[in-house]
Amino acid sequence: MDTDRDKSISMTDISRMAGVSVATVSRIINQNGRYSAETERRVRDIIEKYHYTPNMAAKGLKTRRTNFVGILVPDITNDFFGWIVREIQNGLRIHGYMAFVCDTDENEEIERQYISMLGAVNPSGMIIISGNTSELGNGLGDLPAIYIDRAPVVGAGEVTVIESDNYGGAKLAVQELYEKGCRRIACIRSARVISTYSSRYSGYRDQLELYGLYADGRLDLRVDEITFQAARQAVEELLDSGAEFDGIFGTADWLALGAVEALKGRGLRVPEDVKVVGFDDISLASLSTTPLTTIRQKTDVLGRTAAEEIVKMMQGSPDWKHRILVDVSLIRRETT
Amino acid sequence: MDTDRDKSISMTDISRMAGVSVATVSRIINQNGRYSAETERRVRDIIEKYHYTPNMAAKGLKTRRTNFVGILVPDITNDFFGWIVREIQNGLRIHGYMAFVCDTDENEEIERQYISMLGAVNPSGMIIISGNTSELGNGLGDLPAIYIDRAPVVGAGEVTVIESDNYGGAKLAVQELYEKGCRRIACIRSARVISTYSSRYSGYRDQLELYGLYADGRLDLRVDEITFQAARQAVEELLDSGAEFDGIFGTADWLALGAVEALKGRGLRVPEDVKVVGFDDISLASLSTTPLTTIRQKTDVLGRTAAEEIVKMMQGSPDWKHRILVDVSLIRRETT
DNA sequence: GTGAAAGCGCTAACAG
DNA sequence: CTGTTAGCGCTTTCAC
């Protein structure tokens, strides 16, 4: 039936051509010693000649481990995550790992599906960027796992998480607003309970308190979706409500951008009438109508560190769970 | 050694518990018929109870096919590709396929590495988005493959490619400009020969001709890089040259955006003095200073179609190579 | 240094 | 309808 489906040769073919046993070929390929230089040369020549590549399925079946790592990402259309994914992949690639990048579109059902599918392909590790996941264990057992950005709801110290200094960043944002004269500062955040946003909100509250400012409940905007549109609408409603404010801290750039849009749409000037600070520093932040002042997250450090850590864990390093904090910085542009 | 590494049970375990042979279990799982309803129920109960998931490595080893598909994408940080990838994944997921999303960062060396790594994991298909790849075959043999957007350099009819109606879109753009009163329309495109841009340029020429308009060679701007900066500079030079024009067709949004910037920088009003139309409809198009009128590419259709086609091919449909054209539409905003 | 042999979990004839 | 059997390509004792 198979006409010539697989041109690729197997270890058996090589062993035959080299006149040695498959065991020897295996040892050579995995550099496990116990073979002569002479034999090695002969085998390697053949490997070279036929472009032999080991069959990962067979290898994985036998060793019960793969060179796959699963990456769960909530929104691949957001370049913030795109940058992180790129960096992770660079880190993984040099160690020979391949990534199943799974875009969950912030949807728990899809996330569940991916987790189940990942369970079947037996990845050696997982990097979860900002997922909903509180349990995860469901399909993936006790796989090495790293969380970036959003920590799962389980007890602290239970997992390894790499995150930006969300709390500190929020304080920086409020500080900038305050120093530029704002005294009534609103905050837009996700209505869902997500550690990232909670931390930023805490930073916002604490910094206000530091200035002896009262955090008016009406200025605490919560949106169901972390999108431009949702933020714009929320701010328009705030405007309609007649509440007074002179600054807005958007806990994500898309939210801040939506806020700016709402403000301008109502004839308010940014930054003259209202100042705005975002969080993340996505590409659009610097290119939008009014370039956005924001808190930059180091996507490269976040991604690179995650890759390094997961590789370590997959290679057997005792994975004592820990937390890595990455610092952030204020990028001052034209909305303040 | 292994303490309890794998909690997961195997088909053999199930067969034992159900008091049947593994063959029967296999038939039930793959719905190959030849088993009684009674047996099926018993087996399914056990599967349910223990959350059994088939081991893809073993299955792949045996059947010589996997549920993996490789996706080569040139720039995962560009939301245009992000949207396409999301849509592809949605299409693949419902059919049970997982994707190795490989960001090549427009780098041939990285692309080569991924192709080699993909060869080892034996994917069932490939989706190549706008890569450099002209040969590809190197490591992947004659795998089912779909190209999106940019076709490889091999002879036409050799591969399946899905692309937007670049020619028609360009005509639409020029039509819009013409109907809004423009009579001297410039065009900015890539200096490199890329099918996408060539088609758009042809559409531009043909549509002008249709109106009996002369395509002034001085109004044919070519830039080395498809960037905001390059376009801005090109238009500034055009302005300096004293050439007259009242419309600009940017063959990519980034180019159109750069043009708008140049125009405004020189005190010209958009759209009053000069009108501009772009191509792609990236997120920034609607969010920039002056929202850009542009030709929208249906990233969702592009992605979904690619997924459907590759699934068909992977499931054995005779893959007579063909070309699928996706229609585009004019999004009228404030630059016309 | 090298080889023989036993599977990893699953599928696919081939016999009943 | 069901079971037996032979591997897929590779790693890994255990002998020699």
- Given a cut of 70, whether residue A303 has pLDDT beyond it is yes
Judge: B98–A78 Cβ closer than 8 Å, yes or no. Answer: no
Across all residues in chain A, what is the average pLDDT?
91
The predicted pLDDT at position A7 comes to: 65
Residues sharing a CB contact under 8 Å with residue A138, sequence separation 6 or more, in sequence order: A112, A115, A116
A4 reaches B (C-beta below 8 A): no
- Given a cut of 90, whether residue B137 has pLDDT beyond it is no
Q: Measuring from the CA of residue B8 to each C1', which nucleotide is nearest?
A: C9
At A4, the pLDDT band (50, 70, 90 cuts) reads very low
Residues of A in contact with B114 (CB under 8 A): 93
In this prediction, residues B196-202 reach a mean pLDDT of 92
Residues sharing a CB contact under 8 Å with residue B290, sequence separation 6 or more, in sequence order: B260, B264, B270, B333, B334, B335
- The predicted-structure confidence for B28-52, as pLDDT tens digits, reads as follows 999 998 999 999 999 999 999 999 9
In this prediction, residues B139-157 reach a mean pLDDT of 75
Task: Give percent above pLDDT 90 in chain B.
Answer: 70
CA–CA separation, A77 and B237 (whole Å): 35
CA distances from B136 to A3, A181, B142 (A): 21, 59, 9
Two structure tokens written together for A152: 């799962």
Rounded distance in angstroms from the CA atom of residue A279 to the C1' atom of nucleotide D6? 61
pTM above 0.85, yes or no: yes
- The predicted-structure confidence for A7-63, as pLDDT tens digits, reads as follows 689 999 999 999 999 999 999 999 998 999 999 999 999 999 999 999 999 999 999
Q: How many residue pairs bridge chain A and chain B with CB atoms within 8 Å of each other? A: 137
The predicted pLDDT at position A159 comes to: 83
Residues of A in contact with B66 (CB under 8 A): 57
A1 reaches B (C-beta below 8 A): no
The predicted pLDDT at position A1 comes to: 33
Q: Measuring from the CA of residue B63 to each C1', which nucleotide is nearest?
A: C11
Chain B residue whose CA is closest to A285: B284
The answer to whether B210 CB is within 7 Å of strand D is: no
Judge: B57–A77 Cβ closer than 8 Å, yes or no. Answer: no
Residues of A in contact with B228 (CB under 8 A): 287
- The predicted-structure confidence for A117-160, as pLDDT tens digits, reads as follows 998 888 999 999 976 655 555 557 778 999 998 777 665 567 89
Task: Give percent above pLDDT 70 in chain B.
Answer: 93
Residues of A in contact with B67 (CB under 8 A): 121
Q: Strand D: which nucleotides have any atom within 7 A of a protein Cβ? A: 1-5, 7-13
β-pair type (B185-190, B160-164): unpaired
Q: Is B23 strand, coil or helix?
A: helix
CA–CA separation, A113 and A120 (whole Å): 11
The predicted pLDDT at position B315 comes to: 86
The answer to whether B38 CB is within 7 Å of strand D is: yes
- Given a cut of 80, whether residue B285 has pLDDT beyond it is yes
A120 reaches B (C-beta below 8 A): yes
Q: Which domains does chain A have, with CATH numbers?
A: 3-50 (1.10.260), 65-164+298-327 (3.40.50.2300), 166-296 (3.40.50.2300)
In this prediction, residues A313-325 reach a mean pLDDT of 84
Task: Give percent above pLDDT 90 in chain A.
Answer: 74
B 60-119, residues with C-beta < 7 Å of strand D:
61-62, 64
The answer to whether B36 CB is within 7 Å of strand D is: yes
